[in-house]
Amino acid sequence: MIRIGNASGFYGDRLSAMREQLEGGHLDVLTGDYLAELTMLILGRDRMKDSSLGYAKTFLRQMEDCLALALDQGVKIVVNAGGLNPEGLARKLDAKVGYVTGDDLKARFPEALTANAYLGAWEIAECVNLGAQVVVTGRVTDASLVVGPAAAHFGWARDDWDRLAGATVAGHVLECGTQATGGNYSFFTEIDVTRPGFPIAEIDEDGSCLITKHDGTGGAVTTDTVTAQLLYEIGAPEYLGPDVTTHFDTIRLEEHERGVRISGVKGSPPPDTLKVCLNTLGGFRNSTTFVLTGLDVDAKAELVQRQLHDAIGAEGLTWTLARTDQRDAATEEQASALLHVTIKTADPKRAKGFSRAAIELALASYPGFHVTAPPGDGTPFGVYKAAYVNRDEVSAKAVLL
Amino acid sequence: MKRPLGTIVGARSGDKGGDANLGVWVRSDKAYEWLNGFLTTEKLKELLPEATEVSRYELPNLKALNFVLHGLLGDGVASSTRFDPQAKALGEWLRGREVEIPEELL
């Protein structure tokens, strides 16, 4: 059995989770997911400003705090915090560090700000086999962070489809951190989720696992909390990955005194192509929210809309009116509706001009004019697209420093 | 009797590029039999009128259904002007809709 924990479900997750997982009880491996589709865009913009960046900076802070503790306990760290620059991050860590490279396909997609193939588990497994204490990757599938160390530990073969599929399910349950232990959970009133603990998978040689968490931590691991996470960000029951196709309609869940057992998972060969996460700069956006209080809400909305269109043109503006107002209300807040407007434009000057145009209306528009927060200068926004490439166009590599 | 769907149904939703996914599950075989018959693609579109193109998948082993709402999020989270650009609360919206739930499941 190998005991794999998770300490991060996104870039910005609870900073102390790493320490909590290391101090809370025994682990063999501690993983962390830092990369969402949106994160790749954020890191892409970091890298534009400074080419030595492009990784998740919060992970470095966690390592300053916890690396010695992890090494002392013999816990391996496996994270995708390398983002767009795994080597850069790896070189900042004082340990035996392995990194995975080869996901960057910017040369193949020059029009994109970021273009990264979703790599799999085998390069992570190789880093572990080479003796890495810490493994940092760029874009790998989230579940690979769990599948890789499990495959290395048990010496699984590349066609051990059911084992790989079982570990993929474990990885999918872990990848969003506390979403497996009662966070963001429909029946939250039935458990105490004040401070849910981070999840752990105890994976067996056959790929089955027990989902659990350290004793004394908050939240809960039940078939309901695990089911909720299994349903997160999936499509068809045939869950495609770079190493295996996992059949979600074969998953069996059983309550266990320490959590939930997952077994029965079937796998089959993966597709011939790899998915690529493409982010391009789409333009610039800005937004504000007008507060419309009391009488004539529709007419007030119509007036300010007409005025803003007059000032900067209607093109690229999206309006929504949320009728949060109540008749004859006892508080001013309950008497108020919210009119949201967003501009998306290729022209940064127009995105900035939007703010001035909106604020210039302050004494010249509907009675009671105010906004929830003054609009800023506008920010660039990305457009996400998935692409698919043949496996032989990608050469993933494991490197031990 | 009209009750919020969320009285007996749990949900979790999220984003995949411009698509949203919405998984729902129940806690007994009887409830799943009802849910599977009740929550068709058409019914989902009726309850969530923002949905246009919808794929529906059955996961009886989890007593769950998974819906993919194609194109709901435009070009994805960073560019979407939708109120909830990552569809995080789509499931909770659905759970709040009132529908006829058989008495014996309540």
Query: Per-domain residue ranges for chain B?
Result: 2-105
Whether complex ipTM tops 0.95:
yes
**% of chain B surpassing 90 pLDDT:** 85
One domain for residues A172 and A105: yes
A70 and A194 assigned to the same domain: yes
> Domain tally for chain A?
2
Q: Which residues of chain B have a CB within 8 Å of the CB of A230?
A: 23, 62, 64
Other beta carbons less than 10 A from residue A39's beta carbon = 23
Q: Are residues A242 and A311 in the same domain?
A: no
Exposed/middle/buried for residue A287 (C-beta within 10 Å: 0-12, 13-18, 19+): buried
**A159: in domain:** yes
Residues of A in contact with B21 (CB under 8 A): 231-235
Range of A364's domain?
Answer: 278-384
**pLDDT digit string (tens) for B1-27?**
899 999 999 999 999 889 999 999 999
3-state secondary structure of A400: strand
**pLDDT given for residue A332 in this prediction:** 97
Task: Flag if A236 and B91 touch (Cβ within 8 Å).
Answer: no
Q: Is residue A398 part of a domain?
A: no
- Stretch A139-143: mean pLDDT: 97
Task: Please state the φ and ψ torsions of residue A393, each to the nearest 5 degrees.
Answer: -85, -5
A249/B61 touch (CB, cutoff 8 Å), yes or no? yes
Mean predicted confidence (pLDDT) in A325-353:
96
| Same domain as A251, residue A120 | yes
DSSP string, A62-117: HHHHHHHHHHHHT-EEEE-TTTT-HHHHHTT-SS-EEEEE--B-TTTSTT-SEEEE
Residue A396 domain-assigned (yes or no): no
Q: In this structure, are A369 and A294 located in the same domain?
A: yes
Answer with the residue of higher pLDDT: A48 or A248: A248
Identify all chain A residues contacting B19, using CB atoms and an 8 Å cutoff. 235
A125 shares a domain with A50: yes
Q: Does A346 touch chain B (CB under 8 A)?
A: no
Same domain, A293 and A316: yes
- CA dist A70 and A172 (Å) reads 24
Q: How confident is the model at residue A41 (pLDDT cuts 50, 70, 90)?
A: confident
Taking CB atoms and an 8 Å limit, are A232 and B14 in contact across chains? yes
Which residue in B10, B21, B78 is closest to A234 by CB distance? B21
What is chain A's mean pLDDT, rounded? 96
pLDDT at residue B79 greater than cutoff 80: no
> Do A298 and A179 belong together in one domain?
no
Give the count of Cβ contacts less than 8 A between chain A and B: 116
Tell me the C-alpha to C-alpha distance, in Å, between residue A144 and each of A125, A139, A152, A394: 9, 10, 12, 17
Structure tokens at B34: 């009802």
Q: Residue A201 phi/psi, 5° resolution?
A: -115, 125
Q: Per the CB < 8 Å rule, is B24 touching A231?
A: yes
Q: Do A227 and B64 touch (CB under 8 A)?
A: yes
- The answer to the question of residue A399 being in a domain is no
Q: Which of A271, A298, A313 is the last residue of a domain?
A: A271
Q: Which two tokens stand for residue A202?
A: 């105890």
Contacts of B63 in chain A (CB under 8 A): 227
> Do A303 and A231 belong together in one domain?
no
More confident residue, B82 or A394: A394
Express the helix, strand and coil content of chain A in percent, nearest 5 each. Answer: 30, 30, 40
Q: Which of A104, A86, A55, A32 is nearest to A277 (CA)?
A: A104
> pLDDT: is A153 or A377 the higher one?
A153
Taking only the tens place, the pLDDT of each residue in A228-252 is 999 999 999 999 999 999 999 999 9
pTM summary value: 0.95
- Mean pLDDT to the nearest integer, A178-195: 98
A94 and A240 assigned to the same domain: yes
| Residue A258 and residue A357 in one domain | no
Question: Is the pLDDT at A227 greater than 90, yes or no?
Answer: yes
- Residue A229: closest CA among chain B residues belongs to which residue? B12
Tell me which of A225, A248, A271 is where a domain ends.
A271
Point out the domain boundary residue: A227, A247, A271. A271
- A93 and A222 in a common domain: yes
Q: Say yes or no: A187 contacts chain B, CB-CB below 8 A.
A: yes
pLDDT for the residue B77: 67
- Report the CATH number that the domain containing residue A329 is assigned in CATH: 3.30.70
List all residues of chain A from 246 to 275 with a beta carbon under 8 Å from chain B: 248-253
Q: Is A363 on the interface with B (CB under 8 A)?
A: no
